[in-house]
Chain A
Amino acid sequence: NAGVTQTPKFRVLKTGQSMTLLCAQDMNHEYMYWYRQDPGMGLRLIHYSVGEGTTAKGEVPDGYNVSRLKKQNFLLGLESAAPSQTSVYFCASSYSRQVGTRNNEQFFGPGTRLTVL
């Protein structure tokens, strides 16, 4: 099993450009998440999904959109990139809490380092 994979690993954008980050998991997890990591702030939740076709806002959703058309994929889109979106983006997945409380551990991808100039 590959676990959670993210593409691309690195990207540099100019202000106003758009891009999509792809997250894929092969563990049949229901829940998927997008976090951003900034120095001194830990990881903050951007959006999440509790199942195929569903999405919800997290703590810092502005400037981002997401889609979960397939259970194994969770896409994060930036329609018009801004320098404030320079960050490291992590995707994670987990079973739902209904499966059992011991199964709600989140598994993280390797991250995407995005720089917006």
Chain B
Amino acid sequence: AQSVTQPDIHITVSEGASLELRCNYSYGATPYLFWYVQSPGQGLQLLLKYFSGDTLVQGIKGFEAEFKRSQSSFNLRKPSVHWSDAAEYFCAVTDMEYGNKLVFGAGTILRVKS
């Protein structure tokens, strides 16, 4: 079965520092990968997605992610974190065999210290 692992439950970074959130997936075919962000009490907002082509994907709010097939990874990065980036981040992969359902990782909570 498809699965997504986000190894870091919590990450704390200083404002202005760089950020990398890790995501590893298990999927037999070419994966469709997503990163979502959720602010407290809010719904999920799509940051970026990978379907095919260029393995470096640009998203909203200055985020990018790199798909590495050899490592089964899709890590999210941002060169300079802002206090407003504090939120929970979810990596997900599409399961094309079950109505395109999304299989989510457990999430990484990002704290930004000033």
Contact = CB atoms under 8 A, between A and B. Distances in A.
A105 B47 CA distance: 11
Interface string B19-32: 00000000000001
Contact of B98 (A40, A58, A94, A101): A58
Interface residues of A, number: 28
Size bin of chain B's contact surface: 20 to 34
B107 A104 contact: no
A41 B106 contact: yes
Interface of B: 4, 9, 32, 34, 36, 42-46, 49, 51-52, 90, 92, 94, 96, 98-102, 104-107
Interface of A: 31, 33, 35, 40-45, 48-50, 56, 58, 90, 92, 94, 96-97, 101-102, 104-106, 108-111
